[in-house]
Amino acid sequence: MATRIGVYPGTFDPITLGHADIIRRGAKLVDKLIIGVTTNMSKNPMFTPDERMAMVRREVAALGLDNVEVVGFNALLMKFAEKQGASVIVRGLRAVADFEYEYQMAGMNQQINSGIETVFLMADVSLQPIASKLVKEIALFGGPIHRFVSPAVRDDVLARIAVKGTLGDY
């Protein structure tokens, strides 16, 4: 029987507890889960691709998952998935707004390669509001992010902000 490979793509800037939850749960659905770390310049990245890959690798190691690999890519998702031999794209959903975007993307991806299915995992209720963009914004304004990321990621974000500086006047 063929190995079932899944791809979970994202920018992971930074990786959050919500991402870790989807990784942990997605890894149960496939024989091998490839975390595809990509760059989306419109998201104003705080970390370089190499830094994000290192963060994701460290967080995956902390989860103790032996069927997960972290790979960087800068290509069309479906081309990346094909190259990895994937039959599944794993996506996390937090809210209705996520669904609308992801539904459209899944439809476009199906048009490109109908042999690769998209599987949506609902975020754990306690993790639904977490978004990397909001984590960065809270941290940049000096707010607490310990509820949204692991201690190691929190330290990474705070170290980066120590160099860049905080925003606001509080």
Hunting for tokens 């919500």 — which residue is that?
18
What is the C-alpha separation between 58 and 3, in angstroms, rounded?
A: 25
DSSP conformation class of 47: S
Catalytically annotated residue among 43, 79, 83, 164: 43
Catalytically annotated residue among 52, 91, 132, 154: 132
pLDDT in tens, the chain (170 residues): 779 999 999 999 999 999 999 999 999 999 999 999 998 767 678 999 999 999 999 999 999 999 999 999 999 999 999 999 999 999 999 877 778 888 899 999 999 999 999 999 998 888 888 999 999 999 999 899 999 999 999 999 999 998 876 666 55
What is the C-alpha separation between 62 and 5, in angstroms, rounded?
A: 21
150 is catalytic: no
Short-list 131, 128, 137, 127, CA closest to 157? 137
Catalytically annotated residue among 24, 25, 57, 94: 94
Per DSSP, the three-state class of 121 is strand
DSSP state letters, 50-93: HHHHHHHHHHHHHHT-SSEEEEE--S-HHHHHHHHT-SEEEEEE
pTM of the model as a whole:
0.92
57 is catalytic: no
Catalytically annotated residue among 19, 52, 91, 154: 19
160 is catalytic: no
147 is catalytic: no
